[in-house]
A and B are shown apart, each in its own frame.
Chain A
Amino acid sequence: MKFEFDREMWQKALFCARCGSCRTVHAEQIEGLETGLQCPSGTNYFFESYYPSGRSYAAVALKRGELEWSDRVVDVIYSCTTCGFCQYTCERTNVNKPTDIIRWLRSEAVEAGVGPLPAQRAIIQNLETYDNPWGQPRTRRTIWTRGLPFKIKDLSQGKEKAAVLFYPGCTYAFDPKIQPTLRFLASLMQEAGVDFGILGAAEKCCGSTAYNLGYAKVLGKYGEENIKTFNQLGVKTIVTPCSGCLNTLKNLYPQVDACAFQVRHSVEMLAELLTEGRLKPKYRIEKTVTYHDPCHLGRHAKIFDAPRTILKVIPGLKLIEMNRIRDYSFCCGGGGGVRTGKIDFALATAERRIREALDTGAEMLSTACPFCSQNFLDYLERSGITFEFGDVVELLHRSVFGEEATVKIKEGRS
């Protein structure tokens, strides 16, 4: 079976009443002036065309032959982080599916040969050449395993078996700034006695970046290949720290072929291990922390409580919530290919979210997503703002193993 976007998706766009629900958080859920600024691209660009409603109108116009492809149209379509807030809220209000419509528009742009944005085309070329969107040699996929004080099973040949396939995803694996999260995770799983293994250099991209850019065929290709690999290897459970991978493996792959495995996010697993007493956070972290719900983990996968459970069990740590959380969390700006294609917009969005985080009075911002981490860290570095950042997994590791051990793991010096 091939993966395809719904050809009639644009029909739903006819029902956009431009009520504004997609731009705002419902009154019963929120307080604060940022209530009306929920759409990252609309908030940044202001033109109607950059709001979900405007894109719905563009979809109708394209289909009716009233609008021709142009650089501006492509810019409008690809200036969306696919945070999904519009779809979440529109589904509760009307029948429109704005995020799906945007993805459909992107697939149309790809088919017409006009999309994606020039900088984003590199992603697809990289996938073709390296099986990862970041253009890194395959062998670098396992750099993160170096210096760990234990060996991780290699499941790729079918000789070693494990209960859990740990699927790090491309972004964590290839970005040195956030690679340590993988080491922390592995260390925690090892400590908890989880029987896990990896595919190592044989791991391929899940295809989610391609999907978000409108390359349905590329997603289909990776879906088929990965499903075949997982099924053949007898994988029953996949744990991944990347929400993009989570949603792709869990929600999109079943549309491609039959999947004999279940998919979980690492924070779900960690929360369970804590509840079962298999991980014991004993070192105090005296910090007030605010947690950012990543769009793909929170709104798309509906995982809100697990990361909070983790943070709350850490002794000394105080969790303060921002105004916009959970289903109505505001995007970090890092999704939808925006970091690759429109870095200024991505960082402007990060700034908005960081200011909201700073307003809580927290000392540290935490999250559980590679794209959010990248975007926040990037903004903090460029802006020079003093605000600590710590992945949920890192904070847990510090509490379970202590500061010194965590630094060693981080630096691969075990």
Chain B
Amino acid sequence: MSLQEVKKKLQDIVGKEWVSDEPVDLIPYSRDLITDGLKAYPERRPDIVVMPGSTIDVQNIMRIANQYHVPVHLIGGGVTLLGGSIPVTGGITLDLKRMKGVRLDRENLTVTMEPGVFVTTLTGYFKHLTEKENFPWRPYFTGAPGGSLNNATNIFQGINKFAGLKYGVGLQNIVSLEIVLPDGSVLNTSGGAGLFGVNHWMQGPGPTLTYLPFFALGSFGICTKITWSLYPMPEACQSIWAYYEDFEIATECLIELLHKEIGRGLFIMPSWTQAAYSAETREEGIRLAKACPKYMVGMGVEGTKRAVAFQTELAHRIIKKHGGRIAPKELVEVYRGHEQNIKGWGQSNSPRLMRHLGMIMTNMAYLSVDQVPEYVRLCTEGTHKVRSYMDFPEPNFGEVASGPQLYTYQWGHFVIAEFIFAYDHTNPEHCKAVWECMHNMGAVPWKMGTGPWTLGRDPFVPNLTGNFYDTARKLKNHLDPENIMNPGIAFAD
């Protein structure tokens, strides 16, 4: 069947206005900043973009795609910038932005949402509930403002930086999914589908399939509903910022804080990212970065007023014990870029990192906290070896545009370390330098713990995870025998 015929069938399902093969409509799905610049993955337009309005639409689209062997890719907000939504094999791109349903379950303390719900939409919704309806519960998440809470932040990223200390990574806050499988059937996992009184339990019955699609970038199906846990909206909230010159000492302080099991979010950032997040303009960000000591320990503390008072005092004690300098009040105001995150309203100002030079690259590793200084040392060495990177003129790299970040999860049982640096993706010299830095850092995380940012299609990855890749691949083959779901992205083809 020709694409035109497929297009006609899709139009019959969703309506003509929701299907397009116009180049101007296809182009935004063909690239992002990682295909530019670094050219890490090739640009490719889909043949057709479709906007379903409901789960039934998605099911019908998948049946057509399956029947006529048309690959299907999907996009939520498209903010993750790892080429996950770019249709490697053409075909159909499903843009899920029309599906904007939100359903609150006050009894079970969950919220269920469709993939077109953005991070900020949900933030606004819960702020309203908290302040106008005295409903003191909310989910925790962070992400770029336009990130979809289905496809990006959770199914892919799973990162929950500012609440991870207490509540774990993103997927630890998810209880169930509704997923349309490649054959068009719908699967509700765990307590979903409304068949039980309880919908706030993520396991079972028996083996849980809820977490299967995470990090799989849509390879297993299309998540059309996702149910999150709600957490207490606290009576009080407080941010704590402390300066350190030395990353190792900052880490020691962090370890002691972790062992106290206080706070909701705890992290270390280099001053340049903190400054970039906080400043209104790029110039202000650079000034701020240069004016601050190299690293900041940041902490969000929340709970009852007594809890916040106790935890703040304890945190201050520990910070001072390790030689840290608590940021004065007037500077806390400057860090307003992070304050919303500290307060738990999950909207990341990560786009401001882009503003620094245009794009950022990050090498990420999942570690134990005491491995981090070694990881940082190796990454710093790897970056500093690349003179072409270190010697870029102002606003430069090296000192004010690269550095390690450390986020803590589940009371410090594991952490995520990130070596993050800015570059101008329109400058070929910058891009070349970045590749070199990444290459130098390449072996580090595999030994110490890899992050989810590498994809199956990166040639070295399948070998490094042994049977895990094979098992996941088998599962993929079972669920998607025609290999139509986002082919060539999470799994090598």
Contact = CB atoms under 8 A, between A and B. Distances in A.
- Do A's and B's CB atoms come within 8 Å in the complex? yes
- Interface size on A, as a range, is 35 or more
Interface stretch (A70-78, A182-190, A390-398): A70-78
B124 A67 contact: no
A34 B119 CA distance: 12
A21 B351 contact: yes
Nearest to B75: A48
B118 A25 contact: no
Residue from A22, A24, A26, A58 whose CB has the most chain B CB atoms within 10 Å: A24
B83 to A, nearest CB: 12
A57 B352 contact: no
A93 B278 CA distance: 10
A72 B27 CA distance: 13
Contacts of A6: none
Contacts of B339: 28
B145 A26 contact: yes
B27 A58 contact: yes
A24 B358 contact: no
Nearest to A45: B17
A24 B125 CA distance: 13
Interface string B113-147: 00001111101110110011000000000001111
Contact of B346 (A15, A27, A30, A51): A27
Interface stretch (B94-102, B310-318, B431-439): B94-102
Nearest to A93: B351
B102 A33 contact: yes
Given A19-B145, A27-B347, A92-B280, A72 B124 contact: no
Given A33-B125, A57-B28, A58-B24, A20 B77 contact: yes
Contacts of B426: 11, 14-15
Main DSSP-derived SS at the B contact region: mixed
Contacts of B117: 36
Contacts of A24: 118-121, 145-146, 347
Interface in B305-348: 336, 339-340, 345-347
B20 A36 contact: no
Contact of B27 (A23, A26, A61, A323): A61
Contacts of A49: 22, 24-25, 27-28
B137 to A, nearest CB: 15
Given A14-B426, A20-B147, A28-B339, A67 B27 contact: yes
Contacts of B24: 49, 58, 61, 67, 70, 72-73, 76
Interface in A6-53: 11, 14-15, 17-28, 30-37, 46-49, 51, 53
A106 to B, nearest CB: 14
A405 interface: no
Interface of A: 11, 14-15, 17-28, 30-37, 46-49, 51, 53-54, 57-58, 61, 66-68, 70, 72-73, 76, 92-95, 323
Given A19-B79, A23-B146, A33-B125, 12 more contacts: A18-B77, A19-B146, A20-B120, A23-B145, A28-B345, A32-B127, A48-B95, A49-B24, A58-B24, A93-B351, A95-B355, A323-B128
